[in-house]
Amino acid sequence: MKIAIVCYPTFGGSGVVATELGLELARRGHEIHFITYSQPVRLALLSPNVYYHEVNVPEYPLFHYQPYELALSSKLVDMVKLHKIELLHVHYAIPHAYAGYMAKQMLADEGINLPMITTLHGTDITLVGNHPFYKTAVTFSINKSDFVTSVSQRLKEDTLKLLNIKNEIQVIPNFIELDKNIIEPITSCHRSVMAKENERIITHISNFREVKRIPDVIKIFFKIQQQIPAKLMMVGDGPEKEKAEYLCQELGIQDKVIFFGNSNEIDKILSFTDLFLLPSETESFGLAALEAMAWGVPVISSNSGGLPEVNFDGVSGYLSDVGNTGEMADNALKILKDDTVMAEFKKNALFVAKRFDIKNILPLYEDLYKKAINKFL
């Protein structure tokens, strides 16, 4: 199949999932065309079956905000015609589903039927998509998609609750490529860069937005390090990062916290991590938690959104109510204080993660692609 994938090319979960999906599809022999405004961060190397087409948005003094949707829909039409693309898969409803629908209409005028699948990832529905300024257009473009998927059951329920969706929504969860964790062995010398041998390594990875409750991460770690030697790895960047740095200084733990910024060495960090913290206000799925679990790292998280579908309470980690940092810290210490207990949780975390191996999830997308293409035959 010749498939066009539209996504945000950033470190966010939707872009990561879209890129990893495309790369795995390419390895299976499909021809994949990424169409976005810059090369996706996970798209390090191009293979013979992978292509990247940049969407250029020309600056024009008339426009205060440059019309990306218009440029994207035009680029989609051009690439579909040039490369004989058979299917369009857009990730994140705004603005990709809307631009995809416009491209479908332009192509239909030339007798080309392009099936479109829209995958919903989270804040594109629950936050931005539900905004009065966008709600009508988002609802329309989702209903005009040929097939719709969501990354968790909870996101599906939220979408149906917030928007007047008439389309069926199929839940296809996010995934992890477990094989890559054993392809490139990581030597123990990297651990000493982060912590001493007797210190537990705690990690948080996110885009440091308010919804991630970054101060809660710091508060949980503060209580942990009061009882056991530990270091905190803060990976990512965003508007809450500077506040977090100040909070560490106020609590006197700045020497125990490392702020990495956005990193391409997440696997190295997770491979030596003992516990992962994700106390978010909400998560449509919790991809960062799954990536940690794939390295055998137990997770302390909130019980909000799709997280209970990923992190099994008392098995791969613990779930707590949003904001209950005291309970989260206590649960963290239950795992970290005892080597035997921690080893059991690490084993369980990896076992749960295997359910979401890309080898189990990819066939669900391939079946949907075939169904979408056959719809127009």
What's the 3-state SS for the chain?
A: CEEEEECCCCCCHHHHHHHHHHHHHHHCCCEEEEEECCCCCCCCCCCCCEEEEECCCCCCCCCCCCCHHHHHHHHHHHHHHHHCCCEEEEECHHHHHHHHHHHHHHHHCCCCCCCEEEEECCHHHHCCCCCCCCHHHHHHHHHCCCEEEECCHHHHHHHHHHCCCCCCEEECCCCECCCHHHHCCCCHHHHHHHCCCCCEEEEEECCCCHHHCHHHHHHHHHHHHCCCCEEEEEECCCCCHHHHHHHHHHHCCHHHEEEEECCCCHHHHHHCCCEEEECCCCCCCCHHHHHHHCCCCCEEEECCCCHHHCCCECCCEEEECCCCHHHHHHHHHHHHCCHHHHHHHHHHHHHHHHHHEHHHHHHHHHHHHHHHHHCCC
What are the residues whose beta carbons fall under 8 Å from the beta carbon of 289, sequence distance 6 or more?
A: 276, 278, 283, 299, 301, 307, 310, 311, 317
Buried/exposed code over 256-271 (b: 16+ C-beta within 10 A; e: otherwise):
bbbbbeeeeebebbbb
Reported as a single tens digit per residue, the pLDDT across 151-165 is 999 999 999 998 999
Count other Cβ atoms within 10 Å, centred on residue 348: 18
Overall average pLDDT of the 19-25 stretch:
91
Reported as a single tens digit per residue, the pLDDT across 323-335 is 999 999 999 999 9
Residue 183: what pLDDT? 47
Residue 30: what pLDDT? 95
pLDDT classification of 126: cutoffs 50, 70, 90: low
Average pLDDT, the chain: 90
How many angstroms separate the CA atoms of 65 and 60, rounded?
Answer: 9
How many angstroms separate the CA atoms of 366 and 358, rounded?
Answer: 12
Residue 127: what pLDDT? 65
Asked if pLDDT for residue 369 goes beyond 70, the answer is yes
140: nearest Cα among 81, 109, 99 = 99
In the chain, what percentage of residues exceed pLDDT 70? 92
Residue 124: what pLDDT? 65
Which comes out higher in pLDDT, residue 60 or 224? Answer: 224
Which comes out higher in pLDDT, residue 85 or 267? Answer: 85
Overall average pLDDT of the 93-102 stretch:
90
Asked if pLDDT for residue 189 goes beyond 70, the answer is no
pLDDT classification of 47: cutoffs 50, 70, 90: confident
Overall average pLDDT of the 230-249 stretch:
95
How many angstroms separate the CA atoms of 90 and 366, rounded?
Answer: 15
Which comes out higher in pLDDT, residue 38 or 303? Answer: 303
Residue 346: what pLDDT? 97
Among 43-47, 57-61, 353-357, where is mean pLDDT lowest?
43-47
pLDDT classification of 93: cutoffs 50, 70, 90: confident
Overall average pLDDT of the 102-122 stretch:
94
What are the residues whose beta carbons fall under 8 Å from the beta carbon of 33, sequence distance 6 or more?
A: 2, 3, 4, 5, 51, 52, 53, 79, 83, 85
Residue 130: what pLDDT? 66
Reported as a single tens digit per residue, the pLDDT across 141-154 is 999 999 999 999 99
